[in-house]
A and B are shown apart, each in its own frame.
Chain A
Amino acid sequence: MRLPVAAGLATAAVTTTLYPLFDGGAWLWASMGAILVTTLVGTAATRLAAPAWVATVVMPFALLAYVTAAFAASDAWLWFIPTPGSVARLAALIGSGFDDIQRYAAPVPTHDGIVLLTVIGVGLIALLADLCAVRLRRAALAGLPLLALFTVPAAVLTEAIGWIAFVLAASGYTGLLVADGRERLSRWGSAVVVRRSRSTGKTAPRPDTGRLALSGKRIGVGAIALAILVPALLPALSPAPLFQFGVGNGLGGGSRNIGIPDAIAKLSGELSQQSNATVLTYSSSDDQPRYLRIYSLDVFDGVKWTSSGLRGRPQDRVSEGPLPPPPGLSVSAPAGWAQTTISISDDVGPLRFLPLPYPPERIQVDGDWRADQSTLVVFSTQDEAAGLEYRVVTKEPRLTPEQLTASPPRPDGERRFLDLPDALDPRVEALARRVAEGASSPYEKAVKLQEWFTKTGGFTYSLDASGSGARALARFVLQTRSGYCEQFASAMAAMARMLGIPARVAIGYTGGTKIGDVWTVRTHDAHAWPELYFEGVGWLRFEPTPSGAAGQGTAQAPAYSLPVVRTASPTAGPTPEATSTSDDSADAARSARRDSRAFDRDLGAVPVVADPGLTVAAKVGIGAAAVLLLALVPGVARLLTRVRRRRLVSRGSSGTEAAWRELCDTLTDFGMARRPEESPRALGRRLTERYELDARTAASLTRIVTAEERLRYAASPAADGPVPADLAGVRRGLAAGVSRARRIGAVIAPMSTLLRIGAAGERGLDLFDRLEGLRLWPARRSAAGGPALNRSALDGSALDGSARNGSALTGSTVNNAGNTSTVEGPAGRTEGARR
């Protein structure tokens, strides 16, 4: 009975962690309803002792009835029995839900479609949890569906999951495990008992599982607390790294949250963010603004643009010398050298890529930064970009239009730069061909494409668009023609690939604006742009996104990409040479694996609450100080108590009691056990003998002890109680008998206070236990089992805890034997009396 409820509670606990994903609470109640429905079905099945499969079969129908009632009641028969109409309505809702998921980033509005999807998901998780924990009796396994649910916020949320959410979820799961353990034990016990009760007509007590559950809970609570505290306390790990699998940028919009776009999908958040913080500043030798590229995404899988992985071998460290030559550049052209000095703001998140102008030739930077050979993206697996200042030398080839036009269609280019997802609408390709009509060379096609996006195509700049997947792309190109850099860049890259031009999407920042002597790049300058490859020329940046006030403010189309370039002399144009990027295979495989991992992680990282300039050492220092202060609390509390008691003793009123308590606490502090079966007098005698107290101390001790004894047992309390000097004397006398470490420990971390704190915690746990023990309906067996249990508890009162469990269990076995074998009279009587 306990188990289905525990499974439901666990699911509910994990479900609450989804809270930050939604904008509003309607979904929560709907989801709780779904959990309630499954739990009710599960409980009923358990109660009726139905076969295990029944609940699992009934649950989906119950869920269906529930969602029908909740979302399509008007079309349903009797509000909850599905009809074709209601099913169609639900299907439509689900469809719109999927659309909404595509459209919105978290926190999503609670539209019916999304809520319905959530409810169905949560309901299925509840069903799976019930199946694992209750039907299959594998409570630990139920953690898997719950974990699946838990990973949703972990994967989607831009911020790390709060520890409270983690505690909730973990507590739910722990509760399920505890319930399973108790159920198992009680079932084991009752199997013996049931047989017996049939033969004798008596009901036997169920084994007392409460104590076991309590220790289970203690272990659970301890483990959760450790999981939270240890990572936070260990200086080697960043605070709460357990929850840092979250990704994203400063989408949360906190006033001091800034970030760097880490993936194309997050650009809109960056651009629409309220605050427009400075990300970096730079100055260059020729005082020209330059686009600063962070990542290069070369794979388009139909959902989004991603990277196929980066390789950074030790010899590719930027400190080792010049970077590899830009891929693809083979024509000879005069080079335009420029040196750019970039300093990244301290408030940038954990960025492990360097924003760089393209193509970098040489970089001066502190730390282990490595360049990826094929893309020249510079990254690190150890160091962070925040707060860095570094110098980059770029070598931009000055290409003539003739050289560009002469670039032939690439005969055997790398296929990955031409791959397109199958899901792409064929009309897009037809459109691309129409746009590029009349162009003879790849370069001209590219120029026409850019012109179409920026001028002739009728595109408008809007931050409302979302997504860059195959469907979103088709809609963008064919219908809305409204979007921001993400759509423009990915659309142009995709269409270039359709036209046979290798293309990829770069993510980074535009050149920013010049403030004073330096160029300042802000959050709103985050940008995405396509890079197209031309044989012999290499990768060239294009700019399809509208610039200016009605577009991305600081976007700037490179001169070579404009049609007028044909007549004007070329100004700036990057491009590399054409050594084909060959890989040395074994090394490649190994480092690819490593680096893709690194890349994933770094892609995932980002948002950070900007902290006001505290160094790591300061943070550690503050943390240590806080821990130290916290650690001093028990000692100070103990000292205060001692002073207060001494005052009570000197005043006389209730001094005896205070003196006694002080004595007890002193004993606890010094690790001298006080046995419960020991009377005050016996205690005094033992202490005097054991620690060889001198006569004066012994007399003091006797005064304290005798006064307490009189207070407890005599008709009238003693006339003369102990004096403060007695307390001090006894403490001194006892302290002489213990080690120095013990004495110091007694002052700094007095056991008596710690125990008291522990006892308070225990009371909290007991409260928890009582809450769990609440019965909604009276248990049938409790009336008969109660007295027997009580008696065994009384029995146990004389014994210690462990013996008590033992006697409760062995007791029933003994009794069993008594029923089958003949036991002589008095023995039988005794047994009977004891039961």
Chain B
Amino acid sequence: MAATPDVTDTEPRLEDLVDTAHRIRAAIESVIEGKGEVVRLTLTVLLAEGHLLIEDVPGVGKTMLAKALARSIDCPVKRVQFTPDLLPSDVTGVSAYNQQTREFEFKPGPIFANIVVGDEINRASPKTQSALLECMEEHQVTVDGLTYPLDTPFMVIATQNPIEMEGTYPLPEAQRDRFTARIAMGYPEPAAELEMLDVHGASQPLLKLEPVATTAEVRALIQAVRTVYVSQPVKRYAVDLVAATRHNPDLRLGASPRATLHLVRSARAHAALSGRDYVIPDDLQEMALPVLAHRLLPSLEAQGQRRHPEQVVTELVGRVPVPEAR
């Protein structure tokens, strides 16, 4: 199982990528039944060096997904349960005085891992939430004036309950913008739920999950994704798509340039996962909804009409013409 491809190869081949990704997917899906699309998106975000926001009601397997991903890759995983009294230092780590060495010593927090699962992130105070921002964007932690770099790959998988639930602090726009994509788990199909009862009733499948890829492998995959070709028309198409959100009367706030960047990156990952070494508009269309929707603010009228940003994005994708010119 622990097949180790030539990780020193600087030019990772696309076939290896597809193969490895397939293994990871299979591993996760052995734990999470009937959520192929969600798993695929999660992988896409991982390969796009992004962070994932999973939003849904409690108990649909958000944490399970994050853990399964973490376990299937042989890498350090930390989990932070966000609560209203959680402090920033609880996330990033503290400098503690060492009696023996008589020096301050940095005790790394849970953020120092390849995959960080932030559970119920919207239950933490805004102060703690923002502590996460620097780490996510800059891949580094600064404590007491000292900067500590984070390992690669670094991915934050945050879960949150819908804002309407009690005792939550909604994530500010700036922080939402830092997540590459937001997905919703959704309830499982009756058949999948039935199967889950069988499997989970007997044992804990998560514990039986063996890692199927190494950190080095994932790093190589990420490297491979970076080489996926994005032609000029496709770039223009991405810009058009994002720009369309900024001029839409249904939206109060359009997507940021960072969104464009994330969109193209995840489209690259999407293309690579499909075994293609170039991005096509379909990749962008596929990724537009998870990448863009959570960054948009509906206008007052749209809110009145109960038009969600998801709807608006779907409409835009169906309206912006696909580039023809070469």
Contacts and interface: CB of A to CB of B under 8 A. Distances in A.
**Do A and B interact?**
yes
B264 to A, nearest CB: 13
Contacts of A798: 240, 243-244, 247-248, 316, 319-320
A834 B326 CA distance: 30
Interface residues of B, number: 35
A677 B246 contact: no
Interface in B170-219: none
A678 interface: yes
Given A677-B322, A798-B244, A830-B299, A713 B281 contact: yes
A830 B252 contact: yes
A830 B229 contact: no
Interface stretch (B21-29, B124-132, B150-158, B272-280): B272-280
Contacts of A800: 319
Interface in A687-736: 709-715
B324 interface: yes
Nearest to B246: A833
Nearest to B271: A713
A681 B280 contact: yes
B254 to A, nearest CB: 8
Nearest to A711: B326
A794 B247 contact: yes
Interface string A803-823: 000010001001000000000
Nearest to B253: A826
A712 B321 contact: no
A795 interface: yes
B115 interface: no
A709 B278 CA distance: 10
Given A712-B326, A791-B247, 5 more contacts: A713-B281, A714-B231, A798-B247, A799-B319, A827-B300
B302 to A, nearest CB: 11
16 contacts: A677-B318, A679-B280, A679-B282, A679-B285, A682-B285, A712-B280, A712-B324, A712-B326, A713-B278, A714-B278, A807-B249, A826-B252, A826-B253, A827-B252, A830-B299, A834-B246
Interface string A480-504: 0000000000000000000000000
Given A798-B319, A830-B253, A679 B297 contact: no
A676 interface: yes
Contacts of A795: 247
B247 A834 contact: yes
Contacts of B231: 712-715
B79 to A, nearest CB: 35
Nearest to A807: B249
A822 to B, nearest CB: 12
Contacts of A714: 229, 231, 277-278
A827 B249 CA distance: 10
Interface in A257-292: none
Contacts of B277: 714-715
A245 to B, nearest CB: 52
The dominant DSSP class at the A interface is: helix
Interface residues of A, number: 27
Query: Which of the listed residues A678, A682, A710, A830 has the most CB atoms from chain B within 10 Å of its own CB?
Result: A830
A336 to B, nearest CB: 91
A712 B233 contact: yes
B317 interface: yes
B285 to A, nearest CB: 7
Interface string A665-692: 0000000000011110110000000000
Contacts of B321: 676-677
A682 B282 contact: yes
A715 B277 CA distance: 8
Nearest to B230: A713
A498 to B, nearest CB: 87
Contacts of A678: 322
B174 to A, nearest CB: 13
Contacts of A712: 231, 233, 280, 323-324, 326
Given A709-B280, A798-B244, A715 B229 contact: yes
List of 10 A-B pairs having minimum Cβ-Cβ separation, nearest first: A676-B321, A714-B278, A715-B229, A679-B281, A798-B244, A795-B247, A713-B231, A679-B322, A679-B282, A713-B280
A677 B320 CA distance: 6
Interface string B296-326: 0101100000000000000011111111101
Interface string A560-578: 0000000000000000000
Interface in B44-72: none
Contacts of A715: 229, 231, 277-278
B43 interface: no
A696 to B, nearest CB: 24
A665 to B, nearest CB: 14
A713 to B, nearest CB: 5
B249 A681 contact: no
B247 to A, nearest CB: 4
A799 B315 CA distance: 10
A679, A681, A710, A791 — which one has the most chain B CB atoms within 10 A of its CB? A679
B234 interface: yes
A681 B317 CA distance: 15
A718 to B, nearest CB: 11
Nearest to B254: A830
A677 B195 CA distance: 40
A678 B248 CA distance: 21
Contacts of B234: 713
B319 A681 contact: no
A567 B234 CA distance: 114
A830 B321 CA distance: 24
Contacts of A807: 249
Contacts of B249: 807, 811, 814
A677 B317 contact: yes
Interface in B113-168: none
A826 B297 CA distance: 9
Contacts of A711: 326
Nearest to A798: B244
A676 B318 CA distance: 9
A835 to B, nearest CB: 11
Interface in A782-807: 791, 794-795, 798-800, 807
A682 B229 CA distance: 20
Given A709-B280, A713-B280, A795-B247, A677 B297 contact: no
Contacts of B281: 679, 713
Interface in A615-640: none
Nearest to A682: B282
A660 to B, nearest CB: 10
Contacts of A826: 252-253, 297
A714 B232 CA distance: 10
A826 B251 CA distance: 10
Nearest to B324: A712
Contacts of B251: 830
Contacts of B244: 798
B172 to A, nearest CB: 13
Nearest to B284: A679
A96 to B, nearest CB: 69
Contacts of B297: 826
Nearest to A794: B247
B299 A677 contact: no
Nearest to A823: B300
A800 B319 CA distance: 8
A739 to B, nearest CB: 28
Contacts of A834: 246-247
A676 B253 CA distance: 26
A70 B325 CA distance: 59
Nearest to B278: A714
Interface centre among B246, B251, B280, B297 (most CB of A within 10 A): B280
Nearest to A676: B321
Q: Which of A677, A682, A710, A711 has the most CB of B within 10 A?
A: A677
B232 to A, nearest CB: 9
B284 to A, nearest CB: 9
A214 B282 CA distance: 35
A340 to B, nearest CB: 80
